[in-house]
């Protein structure tokens, strides 16, 4: 079923060839998409590594190793790999698309299967693994989730992402590869795996197909691991009475805790499976499983294929793992199985080591854990709410560049989606800063507020905003930017904007006019008018405009406001007495008092003394008014 949820890759043409149509599944290392190869016009599956892992050379190497390993197999029961490559931050494999379901889906829907159906599935799985084993590879993660059943009935083994050359299958320091319920004892205790580890996992899968349940269960992963180490897989007939002894023997052979007692590889186990089938009558093959039940959702295995490191808790929270079986009643074992003494201290140390805890102590209390929900691609607020709905909190929030996730959306989560976490735990979010290099967008004609938002969306910031007149760009819209559109800049760089003031307006002179007439004249010019609350003395008549904030001839933008100051009439000033003074002295004294001076001379060649003034000295006159001086000579 498609599970596309606003995935940034859906709808994109990857590497100029693969059109991504829908998301199919998400795992610990990669996401699988249904896509179309536009060159060959065929449907396929694209396995795309998570971008945050693509910068890790070790992860990329392991990812590419899958392609090379599976391509070498070329087996009809192995999901084929067609191509591998990279497109920017996307490292991908182009794989065969199998329309159908997984064995996990079948077990969840139907519970236990009839022996014939179980063998019909097991045999092609063993054939695929046998080809891998003979080619020198170990799958290391066999489980029902990795067995695909096509609509046409074909069975194929998928997800060889953990394959490793047999000769290099040594230590897995830091994590146990594989899923808990299918790990062989030597993987748990020593971290090693060879072809017999795959045989063990297939034995567990067969038990699950025959009974509808896993052979070992527990409230915590530690309990399951403990039982794999110290308890034999029970005979499936104990849970499903009536099953033939040959099937019990097949499961016991594949799941012997001592790897030396198991078949050497999947080819040998396949021979045993065919031999067991040959010894069964039709009624034994078609036995209806008693009490078969659909598997509960809580039984589904974690799709991630690596058990992550868990942080140690303080010693006071320590809870002992289940004690070993009493020495007086040791668990049953296949004939000839070799036993090695394992004291409680060794048992605890082995399980802790398997879980990558080192010298710390791991405590899990049933019911206290949940799984991190999928929040990749969501906004910070959406992710925070989704986590809160699961009882989880957001701890620190980081930011990093991403060519995949939109700026401001979640690009990585720690712990990863699907991983178990304490029910009241905290999750670290990494938010995308967008691509490492961004281009300045073309904002010409864009309103200022929208331009600022677009810059933020692109990962840039609005810098200094200046204004200029423009007859072609609407007022309030962007005329241009610095740097220019198309220029590449680092994220969060500032971009200066020039914003249009609109076409210029010539300001008329309205001084001396009434406020009503002045307002009308300015509004007709496209300007707004405000009137200053304070009036001033001026030569203008009281109630008329004494001054305007922009003088005549100034240029303003349409809609700009002009402030008018109203006159309260001229100020009355005492007139100095200048009769008898020389003309220049008299003129200077009157001007200093705020008057204009006019000089009239009669016979100027006869003298230069003021004989009269138009306004008597000691009286008052309007400031700025004119005083006339008469010069009569002798």
272 CB-near residues (< 8 Å, 6+ apart): 250, 253, 254, 263
The two tokens of residue 97 are: 């698309």
Q: Place 261 in a pLDDT band, splitting at 50, 70 and 90.
A: very high
- At 398, give phi and psi (nearest 5°): -105, 170
pLDDT digit string, tens, across residues 547-592: 999 888 888 988 889 999 999 888 889 999 999 999 999 999 999 9
Residue with more model confidence, 161 or 495: 495
Q: Could you check whether 1-97 and 572-631 share the same CATH topology?
A: no
Q: What whole-number distance in Å separates Cα of residue 273 and Cα of residue 276?
A: 5
Q: Place 613 in a pLDDT band, splitting at 50, 70 and 90.
A: very high
Q: What whole-number distance in Å separates Cα of residue 195 and Cα of residue 169?
A: 9
Q: Place 142 in a pLDDT band, splitting at 50, 70 and 90.
A: very high
Matching residue, tokens 């567990």: 204
- Helix axis angle, 245-254 relative to 195-211, nearest 10°? 150
Burial class of residue 261 in the structure, from the number of CB atoms within 10 Å of its CB (0-12 exposed, 13-18 middle, 19+ buried)? middle
- 393-400 and 426-432 as β-strands: parallel, antiparallel, unpaired? parallel
pLDDT of residue 338: 37
pLDDT over 50 (residue 306): no
Question: Worst-scoring range by mean pLDDT, 69-83, 108-122, 244-258?
Answer: 69-83
pLDDT of residue 268: 95
CB atoms within 10 A of CB 634: 7
> Domain 101-288: which CATH class?
mainly alpha
497 CB-near residues (< 8 Å, 6+ apart): 443, 448, 451, 462, 463, 464, 465, 466, 478, 480, 481
Grouping H, G, I as helix, E, B as strand and the rest as coil, residue 157 is strand
Q: Place 28 in a pLDDT band, splitting at 50, 70 and 90.
A: low
Q: What whole-number distance in Å separates Cα of residue 419 and Cα of residue 311?
A: 13
For 336, left (φ over 0), alpha (ψ -120 to 50), or beta? left
User: What ranges in 240-342 are assigned the alpha helix state H?
Assistant: 245-254, 266-278, 282-285
Which stretch, 89-103, 243-257, 345-359, 529-543, has highest mean pLDDT?
Answer: 243-257
Which pTM value belongs to this model? 0.48
Q: Place 295 in a pLDDT band, splitting at 50, 70 and 90.
A: very low
Whether the Cβ atoms of residue 217 and residue 175 lie closer than 8 Å to each other: no
- 561-566 and 528-531 as β-strands: parallel, antiparallel, unpaired? parallel
Assigned fold of 1-97: Phosphorylase Kinase; domain 1 (3.30.200)
Instruction: DSSP letter for 541, please.
Output: P
Q: What whole-number distance in Å separates Cα of residue 579 and Cα of residue 613?
A: 7
Beta-bridge mates of residue 562: 529
Q: What whole-number distance in Å separates Cα of residue 77 and Cα of residue 109?
A: 23
Question: Worst-scoring range by mean pLDDT, 207-211, 398-402, 421-425?
Answer: 421-425
pLDDT over 70 (residue 317): no
Question: Worst-scoring range by mean pLDDT, 35-49, 105-119, 144-158, 290-304?
Answer: 290-304
CATH of domain 438-500: 3.30.10.20
- Helix axis angle, 266-278 relative to 115-134, nearest 10°? 150
Length of the chain, please?
634
- 438-439 and 420-422 as β-strands: parallel, antiparallel, unpaired? unpaired
Matching residue, tokens 């200022």: 448
pLDDT over 50 (residue 219): yes
- Helix axis angle, 195-211 relative to 266-278, nearest 10°? 30
Residue 629 to residues 42, 441, 620: CA-CA distances in angstroms?
A: 109, 72, 16
pLDDT of residue 476: 92
pLDDT of residue 20: 93
pLDDT digit string, tens, across residues 557-569: 888 899 999 998 8
Q: For domain 504-566, which architecture applies?
A: 2-Layer Sandwich (3.30)
Which stretch, 171-175, 322-326, 436-440, has highest mean pLDDT?
Answer: 436-440
Residue with more model confidence, 218 or 215: 215
Q: What whole-number distance in Å separates Cα of residue 192 and Cα of residue 6?
A: 40
Domain-by-domain residue ranges, the chain? 1-97, 101-288, 369-432, 438-500, 504-566, 572-631
pLDDT over 70 (residue 5): no
CATH of domain 572-631: 3.30.10.20
Residues that are catalytic: 141
Q: What whole-number distance in Å separates Cα of residue 223 and Cα of residue 119?
A: 29
> Domain 369-432: which CATH class?
alpha beta
């Amino acid at each position: 079923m498609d599970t596309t949820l606003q995935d940034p890759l859906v709808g994109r043409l990857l590497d100029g060839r693969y059109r991504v149509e829908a998301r199919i599944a998400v795992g610990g290392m990669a996401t699988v998409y249904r896509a179309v190869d536009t060159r060959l016009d065929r449907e396929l599956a694209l396995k795309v590594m998570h971008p945050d892992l693509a910068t890790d050379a070790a992860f990329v190497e392991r990812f590419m190793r899958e392609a090379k390993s599976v391509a070498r197999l070329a087996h009809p029961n192995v999901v084929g790999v067609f191509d591998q490559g990279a497109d920017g931050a996307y490292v991908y494999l182009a794989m065969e698309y199998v329309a159908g379901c997984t064995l996990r889906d079948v077990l969840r829907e139907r519970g236990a299967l009839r022996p014939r159906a179980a063998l019909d599935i097991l045999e092609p799985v063993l054939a695929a693994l046998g080809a891998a084993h003979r080619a020198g590879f170990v799958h290391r993660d066999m489980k029902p989730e990795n067995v695909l059943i096509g609509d046409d009935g074909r069975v194929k083994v998928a997800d060889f992402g953990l394959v490793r050359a047999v000769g290099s299958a040594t230590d897995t320091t830091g994590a146990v590869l594989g899923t808990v319920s299918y790990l062989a004892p030597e993987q748990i205790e020593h971290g090693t795996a060879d072809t017999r580890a795959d045989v063990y996992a297939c034995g567990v899968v067969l038990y699950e197909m025959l009974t509808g349940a896993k052979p070992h269960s527990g409230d915590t992963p530690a309990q399951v691991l403990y039982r794999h180490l110290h308890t034999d897989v029970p005979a499936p007939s104990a849970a499903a009475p009536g099953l033939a002894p040959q099937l019990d023997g097949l499961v016991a052979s594949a799941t012997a805790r001592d790897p030396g007692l198991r078949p050497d590889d999947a080819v040998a186990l396949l021979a045993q499976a065919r031999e067991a089938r040959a010894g069964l009558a039709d009624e034994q093959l078609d036995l209806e499983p008693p009490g078969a039940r659909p598997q509960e959702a809580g039984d589904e295995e974690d799709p991630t294929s690596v058990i992550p490191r868990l942080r140690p808790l303080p010693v006071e929270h320590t809870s002992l793992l289940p004690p070993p079986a009493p020495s007086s009643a040791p668990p049953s074992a296949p004939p000839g199985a070799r036993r090695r003494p394992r004291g409680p201290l060794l048992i605890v140390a082995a399980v802790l080591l398997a879980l990558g805890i080192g010298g710390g102590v791991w405590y899990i209390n049933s019911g206290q854990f949940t799984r991190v929900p999928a929040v990749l691609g969501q906004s910070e607020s959406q992710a925070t709410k989704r986590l809160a709905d699961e009882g989880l909190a957001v701890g620190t929030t980081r930011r990093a560049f991403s060519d995949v996730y939109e700026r401001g959306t979640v690009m990585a989560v720690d712990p990863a989606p699907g991983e178990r976490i304490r029910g009241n735990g905290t999750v670290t979010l990494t938010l995308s800063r967008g691509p490492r290099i961004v281009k300045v967008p073309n904002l010409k004609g864009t309103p200022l507020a929208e331009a600022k938002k677009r810059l933020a969306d692109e990962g840039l910031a609005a810098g200094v905003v200046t204004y200029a007149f423009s007859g072609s760009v609407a007022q309030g819209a962007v005329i241009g930017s610095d740097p220019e559109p198309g220029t590449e800049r680092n994220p969060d760089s500032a971009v200066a904007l020039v914003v249009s003031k609109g076409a210029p307006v010539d300001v008329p002179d309205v001084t001396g006019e009434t406020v009503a007439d002045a307002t009308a004249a300015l509004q007709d010019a496209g300007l707004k008018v405000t009137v200053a609350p304070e009036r001033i003395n001026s030569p203008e008549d009281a109630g008329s405009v004494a001054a305007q904030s922009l003088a005549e001839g100034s240029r303003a933008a349409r809609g700009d406001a002009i402030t008018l100051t109203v006159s309260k009439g001229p100020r009355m000033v005492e007139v100095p007495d200048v009769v008898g003074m020389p003309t220049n002295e008299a003129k200077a004294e009157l001007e200093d008092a705020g008057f204009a001076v006019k000089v009239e001379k009669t016979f100027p060649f006869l003298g230069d003394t003021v004989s009269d003034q138009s306004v008597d000295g000691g009286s008052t006159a309007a400031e700025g008014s004119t005083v006339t001086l008469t010069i009569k000579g002798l």
